[in-house]
Structures are given as C-alpha cells and as structure tokens.
Amino acid sequence: MKIVSLAGFSVSYTKDSPPALDRIDLDLNSRESVVVSGLSGSGKSTLCLAVAGLTDTFPAMTVSGEINRGESADGKPLRVGIVLQNFYSQITYLRSTVMEEIAFPCENLGMPREETARRVSDALNRIRICHLAERSPLELSGGEKQKVVLAAAIAGKPDLLILDEPLSQLDPESTAYLGNVLSELKKEMALLIAENDPYLTLKVADRLVVLSEGKIIADGSPETAISPSTATCLDLPAWTKCVSKADEESIAGENQATRRYELNYRKALTLLRGSV
Amino acid sequence: MKVKYENVSFNYNPTAALSNVSCEFDSGKTVVVAGHNGSGKSTFLKLMNGILKPTEGRVTLGEIGTEGKRTSELARLCALSFQNPDDQLFAQTVKKELRFGIDNIGGGDGLYDSIVDTFHLSEHLYSNPYALVYAMRRLVVIGATATMGTPILALDEPTAGLSIREKGYLGNLISFLKAKGTTVVIVTHDLNFLLPYSDEMLLLSHGEVQFSGGRDEFFTRKDARDVMRRSGIGYPMYARISSALDLGKTAFDAEEIVEGVGKKRAGTTRRTNGQHQLEGA
C-alpha cells in the first residue's frame, strides 16, 4: 500500500539557490525499507525533511510539485517518526531521566500510562540501553544520545520511520546490532533511511534510491541500483575492486568471528565485482 | 608536541567517565582513540585542552601541565573540533569562521589557503555556515580548528556524516598536518578509514585503557581481536581480510591488500616451482 507519494517534487532552500530536490517522483509503500544514498549535498536530508512534512519550517524555502500522504491502518493520519541528522537537537532536556525522555512522544500522543511504560521498556530493550534508563540525558555521550533518540522514535510506533544517518555516532558493535534491529523493524513499519554505509544498505534495504544533485539517478533493488553509473556516488569499499573470486571464498570460509561480516562481504562482492 | 596522561581519572558527578588513564604520545604522531559508546573517548579529548580538568592525575602537553591553566591558554597548544559541529559554529560566513582562530591566536595565511584548498571551501567562503550541508559544516569546523596551526589538533568523530568525497579531503588534511609535524589525536569509530593514517592507538572500555601504543605493534598481538572486542570495536575490515587471506602482515588499506596478495602469490609460485624441480630431480 502506498503511504507517501511525491510527484515532480522540487525544493529550493532560497530563491536563488539550485534546487536541493529536483522534480522527484517517488512512492513509499507500507512495510518497505528504502535506503537513500548519495554524496553529501545530493538531497538526502532534504528528502527526509520533505517526506516528514517539515519543509514548511524553512521560511525562505520554495516547494513545488505534489506530495501526498496516505492514512494509518486505523484510518487516522499517517504517523511519521524521524531521527534527524543532528539528533542532539531532538532531546528535550526537560526530563531528568532517559526513561522519561523516551516516554515523551508517547505522552504527547495521549497514550495511557501502562501502554507508555510498556513501550518505553520495549524500546529500551530493543536498542539495548536498559543500563541508561535512570541516567540523565545531559550526561550521555554522543552515541548514547543517538540511541536514546532512536528509542524514542520507535516507542511512538510510527507508520513510517525516517532515519537520517541513524548510526553515524555508534561504535561498530552497536552498528552491527542495530542493523539487525532495523531489519526486524521493517516488518512493523515503513523505513526511509538516509545512509551511505554499504553494509547497512545491503542488510536493511528492500530498495535503494541513489540521489545526485537533487535528482534520483537510480531506484530499485540494491542489486539493480548499484551500477557503474551510480558507483561514484556510493561509499563502496575500495577493496571490492581487487579481491578475486578465490580470495572471496577464503574470506567466506573464515571462522565464527567473521560470520557477522560474511554475508556482507559475499553479497557486496557479488554485487560489485561486475560493476566497479 | 608530546601529549602525556598520568593516572588521569575524571568523574561527571557521580558517574566515572575515565579511571586511571595513563598514556603518552610523541610529537608529530597521529593517534586514533577508539572504544564503545560511552567509553570515555570524548571526555579524554576534552581533558586535553582544559575544557575538563582531571579529577585526579595530570595531563601534560609538551612540558606544560593543564592544571591551573585556562582553556584560552591551552587552546594555543591544542585545538579541538567537537563531535557536533553545530555546537561550534557561530560566525556569519565560512571565511569569518575559518579566520577567527587565526585572528585571535595565529596560524597565518599560508595555512588558511592550504586548508581552503584541501577542503574545497573556496566557493562557500561567503556562505553562512548553517546554510551548508552537514558534511560541509563539519569540514568548516575542522578547518577552523586546523587553521590555528596549533602543535596538537584533537578531532572528535571527524568522519561522521561525511560521504566518501569529504572523507578523502579529510585524509588529505591529516597527511598535510602529519608532514608539518602536528600531533593529531582523533576519536573515531571509523577505523577502516583512519587506521592507514595512524601511528598510535588508544583503546578505551568503560573509562579504562585497554591498549595504548603503536598501531603495528597492536596488530602483531595474538589477543588483538579479543582486546578490540572488549572495547566494543569490530576487528577492522582490512585486518580481517589480511588474516582471512593469510597475508602474514596486517594490511590497513586496499592497496596494501593487493600488495600482500601479490607477494603471497609470488611466494606460492616460487614454492611450486621448487617442488617441480625436486620432483624432476
């Protein structure tokens, strides 16, 4: 089911600046995870803001074309959650503990206490930050704050969750773990993720959209969207160019410690050998 | 300039962020600091130019201890670029942002020009920094700290939010600073990108040092993987490939992998030839 649909959608931040999004046609469907990649300045964050309906917050911005949002399964307006690239600005600091901070969106949705408590503890567990529950958001590290904002977004159970580089400040172990969490989440909600990390893309994306100078230059399964014409816009590992078939097998056969990476190596290699 | 931490502890009341950290990095070295989220990495950096002062222990830059010194004095020795670039930007234009440090502390026009070139900022000099995309804002902040030409430069998560293009610019800056003899201390999760540039490593876990010393030395240790796992860090991609391909020596970038594979193949061929000769004889 289509939940957001953009047609000929353009955005410029000021009257004179080149368009940040240039005549975009894009449909997002329920329970679909779409990863948007591209060099910085290609329009990833602007697309996230536009889909979330936040373009009105920029007074000088000019918007043209159409954007239509569908309904939630219960007939209410589509619920959208977002984790901004600058997630620091999303923490209210009005609450004295992480637990209360995560409850904030639920409270604003007018949810009953028990339901709020259940969702908060579910989100804490899912993001594996139970140990932070009683801490003050003020004293957390950057990566911990990013996890808290992600947990709060999940607790709201949106129909569409928009994540702008959601793992940028996380350590490699958390990145791998939260990659799995996102793969699970796409069974419950639609995801739109701005991300350049090819591992995360291959793990989570049903669909990869590649942006260049505000235009969509590829839109399809990762297998079809990664091609010689899009490779220059993607953060592909340089080694994929030079590891031969035999070497790939020896990588794949390595022991348990590398199992986490195994699928990604193989998938990336298979995808990229022909294209880069 | 040399950086030395002696038995340094730091508490954010009541949480302990660092306990009994000792390490020493020689002048001109490039150091990566890694560890899980909340391991104390950013705290470690903030102690370097006096934004934070140790609860216990002593931090020394060259011969100068940070105790009793203000950040305004220490910033002449150690410039710090924050984890969140938006916390640091304040000037009306990119040019003013980049020149603020030079006008207040020094650095000189040569350095300013090189950094504008290295970061490809010339067409943005009269833009408001907040009008730039996130990756460029980060480069402006890093540039503004680097232009001061301090003997120590500390960078907190410099690659976060950068796409492959800007990471390349950052790599060029690190090489440039290294050639100038600047000590560069980088907190990062992106070891795959930064290990090729680094001489030394500091690994932290729950505020304690897991390893401090040379990069090459670390990767010859048998327990290297375990130490990294304890610090919440995955074993870096190229190190993993090196061991999977049995290259003998740890590679840190794609070129070193190719070189290693080439050497290994040459070795195998020679052995095979030798065997043939034996069988022939």
Note the pLDDT tens digit of each residue in A88-128.
999 988 889 999 999 998 998 899 999 999 999 999 999 99
Q: Which of A12, A141, A259 best probes binding to B when mutated, by most B CB atoms within 10 angstroms? A: A141
Higher pLDDT, A260 or B226: B226
Q: Does B280 reside within a domain?
A: no
DSSP string over B113-166: HHHHHHTT-GGGTTS-GGGS-HHHHHHHHHHHHHTT--SEEEEESTTTT--HHH
Per the structure, the count of domains in chain B is 1
Q: Do B133 and A171 touch (CB under 8 A)?
A: no
Comparing CA positions, the residue from B183, B194, B131, B202 lying closest to residue B159 is B194
Mean pLDDT taken over chain A: 84
Question: pLDDT (tens digit, 9 = 90+) per residue, B110-147?
Answer: 889 999 999 999 999 999 999 899 999 999 999 999 99
Q: Do B87 and A88 touch (CB under 8 A)?
A: yes
pLDDT value of position A263: 40
pLDDT value of position A245: 44
d(CA A83, CA B278): 67
Q: In this prediction, what percent of chain B has a pLDDT beyond 70?
A: 94
Q: Does B263 reside within a domain?
A: no
Amino acid at site A69: R
d(CA A273, CA A49): 34
Q: Which helix (H) or strand (E) holds A120?
A: helix A113-126
Mean pLDDT taken over chain B: 89
d(CA A67, CA A50): 9
Q: What is the 8-class DSSP label of residue A19? A: P
Higher pLDDT, A76 or A243: A76
Question: pLDDT (tens digit, 9 = 90+) per residue, A14-48?
Answer: 888 899 999 999 999 999 999 999 998 999 999 99
Torsion angle of C-alpha atoms B193, B197, B201, B207, degrees rounded to 10: -50
Read off φ and ψ for residue A128, nearest 5 degrees.
Answer: 60, 50
pLDDT value of position A266: 54
pTM of the model: 0.83
d(CA A46, CA A54): 9
Looking at mean pLDDT, say which of A169-183, B20-34, B63-77, B216-230 comes out highest: B20-34
Domain of B156 in residue numbering reads as: 3-235
Q: Does B248 reside within a domain?
A: no
pLDDT value of position B269: 55
A135 contact residues in B (CB cutoff 8 A): 15
Tokens of B13: 């009341």
Q: Do B83 and A247 touch (CB under 8 A)?
A: no
Torsion angle of C-alpha atoms A37, A1, A24, B164, degrees rounded to 10: 0
A171 contact residues in B (CB cutoff 8 A): 34-37, 39, 189, 232-233
The whole-angstrom distance between A209's CA and the closest CA on chain B is: 16
Q: Does B257 reside within a domain?
A: no
d(CA A200, CA A202): 6
Quick check: bond before B14 cis, omega within 30?
A: yes
C-beta neighbour count of A207 within 10 angstroms: 19
* Residue B60 pLDDT exceeds 60: yes
At B180, which CATH number? 3.40.50.300
pLDDT value of position B277: 41
Q: Between chain A and chain B, how many beta carbons pairs sit less than 8 Å apart?
A: 131
Segment B255-270 shows an average pLDDT of 72
Q: In this prediction, what percent of chain A has a pLDDT beyond 70?
A: 85
Q: Does B273 reside within a domain?
A: no
d(CA A103, CA A112): 11
